[in-house]
Amino acid sequence: LIKEINIASIRLNHLIENLLNISRLESGHFTLRSNWYDFHDLINRVLDSLQQELSNYNLHLNIPDDLPLVKIDFGLIEQVMYNLLLNTSQYVPQHTDITLDVIMEGTNLNIKLTDQGTGFRVDDIDHVFDKFFRGKSVMTGGTGLGLSIVKGFVEAHKGEVIVYNAPTKGAVFEIKIPVEVSLFDIGNKD
């Protein structure tokens, strides 16, 4: 019972954070707190938070060990990744693959999340990032804020996010964020 109460309180806290963050975005009272971060640390923190939700999926992480430090707002990008992965866990059949690819391409941090769900209906795909939007065929709960926050936080970083249906099966979210990259090589101890 205590475990269930704890999980519910964490979910409620994320819902409140989402509501506050969407209000800040809309009011323009939002400033980035960028600093140098290791993306591996961010992903590990998100995966730790979503351990139960992702436990019945085959999660494939493709993040190079030598990915440089990037200058981002850790809290915002953490929320982006949390919302994307939580959303995927809620709408994609269990025991399927979820693949997260992260690479640097020039000065862009590219993040690609691919799943093996049913994808989006043609009528819904243009509205996925709309506030409070939930697809017509959606069975699970949710507020419809998660993906609009993803878009807002990515755009706050001067980036872009797109979604499309994979040619074979499932949905693909692609994020491109222009970032400053550390010239310090984290693999070099000299």
pLDDT in tens, 45-72: 999 989 989 999 999 999 999 999 999 9
pLDDT for residue 189 is more than 80: no
pLDDT at 3: 83
The answer for residues whose C-beta is within 8 angstroms of residue 22's C-beta and 6 or more apart is 131, 145, 148, 149, 152
Predicted TM-score (pTM) of the model is: 0.85
Q: 87-116: per-residue pLDDT in tens?
A: 999 989 999 999 999 999 999 999 999 999
Q: Where are the alpha helices (DSSP H) in the chain?
A: 2-27, 39-49, 51-54, 74-91, 146-156
